[in-house]
Chains A and B, each alone.
Chain A
Amino acid sequence: NAGVMQNPRHLVRRRGQEARLRCSPMKGHSHVYWYRQLPEEGLKFMVYLQKENIIDESGMPKERFSAEFPKEGPSILRIQQVVRGDSAAYFCASSPPLGTQPQHFGDGTRLSIL
Chain B
Amino acid sequence: QKEVEQNSGPLSVPEGAIASLNCTYSDRVSQSFFWYRQYSGKSPELIMSIYSNGDKEDGRFTAQLNKASQYVSLLIRDSQPSDSATYLCAGTESGAGSYQLTFGKGTKLSVIP
Binding site for B on A (CB under 8 A): 31, 33, 35, 41-45, 48, 55-56, 58-59, 91, 93, 95, 99-108
CB contacts (< 8 Å) of A56 on chain B: these are 96-98, 100
A91 contacts B43, C-beta separation under 8 Å: yes
Taking a contact as CB atoms under 8 Å apart, the answer to whether B92 and A43 are in contact is no
Contact assessment for A108 and B99 in the assembled complex, using a CB-CB cutoff below 8 Å = no
User: Which B73-92 residues have C-beta < 8 A from chain A?
Assistant: 88, 90, 92
How many Cβ-Cβ contacts under 8 Å join chain A to chain B?
61
Indicate if the CB atoms of B99 and A100 lie closer than 8 Å: yes
B31 contacts across to A, CB distance below 8 A? 100
* Bound CA–CA A104/B43 (angstroms): 10
6 pairs of A and B residues whose beta carbons are closest in the complex: A56-B98, A42-B105, A100-B32, A45-B100, A43-B103, A105-B43
A48:B92 contact, CB within 8 angstroms? no
Contacts of B96 in A (CB 8 A): 56
If A33-B100, A100-B32, A102-B34 touch, does A43 touch B45 (CB 8 Å cutoff)?
Answer: no
Tell me if B49 and A102 are in contact (CB < 8 A): yes
Residue of B nearest to A92 (CB): B43
Contact in complex: B105, A33 (CB < 8 Å)? no
Q: Which residues of B contact A48 (CB under 8 A)?
A: 98-100
